[in-house]
Structure 1
Amino acid sequence: MRDTFLQNRHQDQFEQEGYVLFSQFLPPAVVEALRQQYFQWDHDLGEGFHATMHSHDISYRKKVHQSMVDHIQPHADKVLKNYRPLVANYTVKEVGEESFFDFHLDWNMVDERKSRSVTIWVALDDTDAHNGNLWILEQSHLLPATYRCGPGLRLMAHNGELFKHKKLCKRALPMKAGDAIIYDHKLFHGSPPNLSDAVRIGLNYAMAPREIPAIHYLWSGGPGDVQSSPTLPIEAREVEDDFFLSCIINDSGAAKKYTLSLDVIEETLTAYGQDEVNQHILDVDQERLREQGYQVVGSLFDQQRMQRGMSWVIKAKNITKTYNVQRTIESACHAIRGLSFEVEHGETIGLLGPNGSGKSTLLKILSGITKPSSGEVQMRGKVASILEVGTGFHPDLTGRENLFLSGKLLGMSTEEIRQHEKEIIEFSGIAPFIDQRVRTYSSGMFMRLAFSIMAFLESDILLLDEVFSVGDASFRQKAEERIRNLKSNRTVILVSHDIGQIASLCDRVFQLDRGQMIHKGSPREVVNHYALSSWLNTSARLHNEDNVDDVALMGALSKGVWDIEYQGSKVPIEAIYDEKLLQEKGRLSLAITSPKSIWSTTRIAFSIAQIGQPPFWATPVDAPPTSSAAERQIGNTTIDLSMLNKGWYSITFSLLDKAKEGGEIERWPRALSFEIKGDNNQAHEGAKGFSGPIVCSTTWHYNPSQ
């Protein structure tokens, strides 16, 4: 899907949040000109909330639209990537309770599976909770695409299942005059009533990519639902850009107030010569509809619509997988033991665990390659997977032929595959070899092509098993970025032994051990748990409220003795830190006791690392003074560790040879360990979800922008 914004930081926020806020998007002079124009042209559209689109005077609507294009498009072109205007409105809240506008979706103006239409909403007055500031429903743009025949269809916002989705929270957005929000048309939004003593004015500026045709969706079968009709009569018709300016909203009755008159739609389409354009978006029988989790609750005539009834796309209930190695019960291998979980639409899930923990077996069950011995798995949508190098490729076909074969297996047409062919080959980086048989490919070339195909061809769920274990660093970095871009509209399950990769890419992580799920939660929490349990070489027990993990029972290692070989005999070096000072003050008070004799030819250094990660901090230990006569010397130092993130850390000591430019003679790995809990620390609160070792508080000072 093409980018919406010119700048990457705006695009990243848009993908994650569904909107981007801009301070002083319009200069004060433009804001005042648009306000005065509204009062000069006011059509007296009644009480409560109203917009220019509610007027039946087409010439008035087009006049408002053109004026807003002249004022706003130059500013839109500075932030959006080649977008054109489709319809512009004043959006006005008169004073009174009637101006309340519940959560709703804007018009569906393009095929949202392939592109995005957006709205620029600009405040022409200062807005707050008292006069009807904008509300948005956070993360609602990640819900599955729906088909909207007009503005204001609200039923989906009232559905109880929607508000059970843990990510959906209402957020108020007070704004200053001239501020703007650019939001995805799939983002639910609304506003409280205007209870001030003055009218509140804003504007809507709906846009679509210049190269994408405008689409209008309509219900062609009349009132009814899936029980009375074996197919869903939802049609998509390509329309001219000014179609949305010309449709009259039917206000003949309260039940149809925000539903377009289908008679007017048909007349308008006829005028544009689009009668033959009749693409059925959904044409599925009842059984397939239920399998995909759809629920039809009425027709557009009743302001009701089709939607997904629940948010999960993968649901596993008490699944097991047993292999009888020698056809006897005694020799049975239990690869999966009673796993139950749900994965929501748009989530990226990481699977961590040692070899033999059941990760690959679980992916094979989810992909349908093997069936569980017991339990139930439900999947919603098309599933694409990369489970082993070369899986799914025919060795005697060329790379290009396998590309088309994979697309066909995903249910895509030849034309749809051709639309992605060039970008897949370019992304894979194996263009010179794309017409050679894949039996001649290296393992890295296999994985490059397999990942590129699955990442660009259309699927709902993507299963990846150690896809980055082969291939070079540059492709790995490019592939990781591609996964981040997929997160808004695909569900991804990723198996990797690279805990840094899991932490940076995933929303949640499941830790498996011997076929059981022993831990699940945020990436930082599970990665730390996995790294520590691996380091201690222990298997944690099943996590429940009554038990404590074995890892926690072992506690921190605050002291230790290191026996080194020096001049033919063993010499002890002792290290200890003050655990109480570390937990209360965030300061590491470290004491090292060493024999004076070793310092003539060697020196000591130590490093600190998050457990399971490379060191991020290292320093030499100062030598004791030569004037001291005592053979054993105690050296003390104190290090401020308040900048460390929550998690477990280890200290490694090294004995270095002075004569060989500091070459390492001996190492004491993970000599000491400690946990940073980060309690009552605002910096740690701000770093939730971040898995790196350093967390620093910063203070920002602002001045007015020129």
Structure 2
Amino acid sequence: MKPLFRDITLQEKFDQDGFLVLPMLSPQEIQVLSKLYEEVNPGELKRIYSNVYNRRDQKQNRHVGKVITDLFKPHIDQICMNHRIAGGSFLVKGVGSESASQLHQDFNNIDEREGISLSFWVPLENVNEHNGCLQVIPSSHKFFTTVRCLTKPSLFLEFDDELEPCLQPVPMKTGEVCIYAHNLFHGSKPNNSDHNRVAVVCSVFPEDSRNIHYYQESGDGKPIEIYETDDNFYYDNFPELIEGKRPQWYRNLGPIDFEPESLDRKAFFRKYRQEKGIPENTSVVIETLSEPKKMELFRWVTKNIQALIRLTQ
């Protein structure tokens, strides 16, 4: 597998964690993207919005993609090697409790046994936990070999007390980029600000990789098939794909020749414990605390043990 990053230190960090944050765009470039977003103008939102997934305007989607990829290209070329740029879009978080994006893996875009595909994610404003910055599970891109598509979706993990210790928030400044693997578990909590949180995303693939999309027809025992696609696949076909239609206008490469891992919440946490060296019957919450925090918790429990016992009686 050829390296994707010119800097070996960045490559090693990415291989370990599955994501990086770097400075990338200038204020002038952010202004260009902000004006482009005004052209899309989805209005006030409550949920997650993408011009590719939510807007059935192929011409505008291609225009948006070209502006983004042209603007990103010189920066990506400085950071990466052995790569190609595959497309760009807006990802917008609306306002309120319905704007959360549960932890998930993105669709497979290439054969991940042969390489890894990336997202270059850039916010158009400072992002933090108040307005819904990215949340990631470091190293989770190495946990599983999964097949992810519209008819066989990713595992989605709700934000709760069990998941919280696994998460790393990724606060960022305007113009910084978070580069993450498409198979890294990532998402974002609700946007509690008073306006949409806008980000731009661009996909990067290994230069010698083939664009693919998996498809599984509904029904027990149906095979998972592979279709060879192109960079405009989602721009042009998402309305049909979301209805579960077979992408029959693309070349069918036949069924997959491997057994993908079957993944549910229980299997995820079992694997997480294995990767982190946490005993099977031990709480992730306790084991992921730092030593000072463990001692603080121990002292609190010791001090309040009688009250805790009374509560259980």
Same fold (TM over 0.5): yes
Find 1:200's aligned residue among 197, 201, 212: 197
Find the aligned partners of 1:114 and 1:7 in 2 and give their Cα distance.
21
Provide the residue aligned with 2:84 in structure 1: 84
Summarize the alignment of residues 527-546 of structure 1 with structure 2, pairs less than 5 Å apart: none
Unaligned runs of 5+ in 2: 279-290, 293-313
Higher relative contact order (CA 8 A, sep 6+): 2
Provide the residue aligned with 1:103 in structure 2: 103
Provide the residue aligned with 2:214 in structure 1: 217
**Letter of the 2:235 counterpart:** L
TM-score (norm 2): 0.78
Unaligned runs of 5+ in 1: 251-258, 284-288, 298-303, 313-342, 348-506, 509-678, 681-706
**Letter of the 1:248 counterpart:** F
Partner-residue secondary structure (3-state), 2:90? strand
Find 2:256's aligned residue among 274, 280, 294: 280
Find the aligned partners of 1:152 and 1:80 in 2 and give their Cα distance.
31
Provide the residue aligned with 1:8 in structure 2: 8
Summarize the alignment of residues 29-428 of structure 1 with structure 2, pairs less than 5 Å apart: 29-44=28-43, 46-54=45-53, 55-150=55-150, 153-157=153-157, 169-220=166-217, 222-224=218-220, 229=221, 233-249=223-239, 260-263=242-245, 265-269=246-250, 274-275=251-252, 277-282=253-258, 294-295=261-262, 310-311=270-271, 344=274
Provide the residue aligned with 1:612 in structure 2: none
Instruction: Give 1:94 deviation, angstroms.
Output: 2.3
Q: Which has the higher helix share?
A: 2
Provide the residue aligned with 1:464 in structure 2: none
Larger Rg: 1
Find the aligned partners of 2:156 and 2:210 in 1 and give their Cα distance.
26
Contact 1:90 1:201 in 2 (8 A): yes
Summarize the alignment of residues 592-671 of structure 1 with structure 2, pairs less than 5 Å apart: none
Distance 1:223 1:188, change over 3 A: same
TM-score (norm 1): 0.36
User: How many pairs does the alignment contain?
Assistant: 277
Contact 2:19 2:179 in 1 (8 A): yes
Distance 1:86 1:260, change over 3 A: farther
Distance 1:17 1:151, change over 3 A: farther
Partner-residue secondary structure (3-state), 1:77? helix
**What is the CA RMSD across the aligned residues, in angstroms?**
3.3
Q: Which has the higher strand share?
A: 1
Distance 1:295 1:148, change over 3 A: closer
1:94-113 deviation line (CA, Å, top 9, x unaligned): 22222111111112101111
Partner-residue secondary structure (3-state), 1:85? strand
Instruction: Give 1:134 deviation, angstroms.
Output: 1.1
Find the aligned partners of 1:137 and 1:112 in 2 and give their Cα distance.
18
Find the aligned partners of 1:152 and 1:27 in 2 and give their Cα distance.
39
Partner-residue secondary structure (3-state), 1:9? helix
Find the aligned partners of 1:107 and 1:42 in 2 and give their Cα distance.
26
Distance 1:46 1:128, change over 3 A: closer
**Letter of the 1:235 counterpart:** E
Contact 2:44 2:195 in 1 (8 A): no
Contact 1:130 1:195 in 2 (8 A): yes
Q: Percent identity?
A: 26
1:91-143 deviation line (CA, Å, top 9, x unaligned): 11222222111111112101111101100000111111111111111221121
